[in-house]
Structure 1
Amino acid sequence: MRIFDSHTHLNDEAFTGHVAEYVAHAQKLGVTQMAIVGSDTNLNAGALQLAHQYDNLFAIVGWHPEESKRYHAAEEATLIEQLQDPKTVAVGEIGLDYHQNVAPHAAQKNVFKRQIELAKAFNLPISIHTRDAFEDTYRLLEEVGVPARGGVMHSFNGDPEWMQRFLEMGFYISFSGVVSFKNAHDVHATARAVPSDRMLVETDAPYLAPMPFRGKQNQPAYSLYTLEALARLRDENPDQVAEQTYQNTHRLLEIDHD
């Protein structure tokens, strides 16, 4: 079995000084490749540093909606440099987050739009974070247009109807540990309905640890438990789901080596 953790944050301070241990543990559980995701200048730099340090790690760089109020010309200039790094495979995580209202909605929309345009300019897919903002996320994507290489709805928590709307736009659907939660009924329904060639798995570590580790710090190795939960919901063989999601991630991110 080989698993691709399509969205994790080994660049987070929770892993500082212990990255090698987490990478080794992940490999023992079959997690052979990972996409390390940034959210501002420093975390983007951390993602790239790890991607260059480990051949099996790749970087996704961008500005998280909660950080959008700090995104200005200097930050964009740095991001443009980071997007041209050969280990950068996507723009993210970008999008809208209305859950805690940390940043003004207008600022979030402006930064989201700008980063979609950058993804188009550099021919990269996008990794979308959307929380309590499906309507505005969809509307903005319709307005600006999805990049030619599409993207992924990271840690998707919507129902099958929303899934279908994003699939029609060219997106993949990624499942985090939430898919293992007992009462995540919308996510369960989506997991059963998603086409096999459009599903990914992720940890979003150090957040959203799957059962049986819910409430504890997540780590890339736990992709295995997310994958097993997804396979149970679909009544499919975990080895087959692992290989399918692995190949899907390679196709989306245009990674052509093992």
Structure 2
Amino acid sequence: MFVDSHCHLDRLKQTDDELNQTLEFARNRGVEHFLCVAVSVKDYDSMLASVKDFDDVSVSCGVHPLHQEDACSYDELLEKARRPEVVAIGETGLDYYYSEDTQSVQRQSFIDHIKVANALNKPLIIHTRDARQDTLDLLKQYKAAHTKGVLHCFTESLEMAEAAMEMDFYISISGIVTFNSAKALRDVARAIPLDRLLIETDSPWLAPVPHRGKQNQPGYVVEVAEFIAELKGISVEALARQTTENFYRLFSLTRKAGAA
């Protein structure tokens, strides 16, 4: 069974009935759980309302580095993130590729998210692009020893991945790995130890081959798994089993499928 460790179900261009059908399609393909990741604390309640009736959907709380117009205070983030349904903090992090002019604001937001994760003992979901050293430096400086997390939709270097794994982080690979332009990322995916790997769609964006050009959806995490399994020379069943185990180990507040 698969898990989509990072998706944005509230961002899908779908009606409620269509979302039901989308999740059912994924379940029928063997996807047993979905982590719906917040990009804005301001929109958190509306995101939660869109998925709260699904027992196999968990949620995070945080502010994406490119959504600093929705930035919130440490206290506001802490208040929302301590709610019992929140299994992770984020997504947070640094993105200098799209927004160099907000670097200082991004860094302070990232620090606040790290401190909230420390305080609540909830894992971090980190977005990082063109900010390798600052991302690692801030984690080293502010992360508590018990705080874990994931670098999601990873597209950076193996050296960054190894540094993050040394800090007890996981690496999550999206459908980007299937793109023709992703040779370097495929090399990284081969090298990531299986017990440190997660898979995701990041839907509604970044649909994997052969679905390029379509709105991405959680059911397409199967294509991501199949592609990575082939890269690693293992069965897709083995990859699914290990990445699912990794997901529940990291996001330990998530209710497993079939649990009471």
Q: TM-score, normalised by structure 2?
A: 0.92
Distance in 1 between the 2:21 and 2:100 partners?
A: 33
Aligned: 1:210 with 2:208: yes
Aligned-partner SS, 1:66: coil
Aligned: 1:126 with 2:128: no
Aligned-partner SS, 1:93: strand
Shift in CA distance, 182/97, structure 1 to aligned 2, threshold 3 Å? same
Distance in 2 between the 1:214 and 1:5 partners?
A: 18
Which residues in structure 2 correspond to 1:130-169 (within 5 Å)? 130-146=128-144, 148-169=146-167
Q: Tell me the CA shift for residue 51 of structure 1.
A: 4.6
Structure 2 residue identity aligned to 1:12: R
Q: TM-score, normalised by structure 1?
A: 0.93
Which residues in structure 2 correspond to 1:7-86 (within 5 Å)? 7-17=6-16, 18-73=18-73, 76-86=74-84
Distance in 2 between the 1:62 and 1:123 partners?
A: 15
Match of 1:96 among 90, 94, 97: 94
Distance in 2 between the 1:186 and 1:227 partners?
A: 18
Structure 1 residue identity aligned to 2:24: A
Distance in 2 between the 1:139 and 1:230 partners?
A: 29
Gaps of 5+ in 2: none
Distance in 1 between the 2:222 and 2:144 partners?
A: 31
Shift in CA distance, 103/37, structure 1 to aligned 2, threshold 3 Å? farther
Shift in CA distance, 88/147, structure 1 to aligned 2, threshold 3 Å? farther
Structure 2 residue identity aligned to 1:172: Y
Q: Is the 8 A contact 2:41 2:72 kept in 1?
A: no
RMSD of Structure 2 on Structure 1 (CA): 1.7
Q: Tell me the CA shift for residue 36 of structure 1.
A: 0.1
Distance in 1 between the 2:57 and 2:161 partners?
A: 28
Q: Tell me the CA shift for residue 146 of structure 1.
A: 4.8
Structure 1 residue identity aligned to 2:83: D
Name the structure 2 match of 1:240.
Answer: 238
Shift in CA distance, 223/147, structure 1 to aligned 2, threshold 3 Å? farther
Structure 2 residue identity aligned to 1:131: R
Aligned residues: 255
Q: Tell me the CA shift for residue 82 of structure 1.
A: 2.4
Gaps of 5+ in 1: none
Q: Tell me the CA shift for residue 19 of structure 1.
A: 1.5
Aligned-partner SS, 1:53: coil
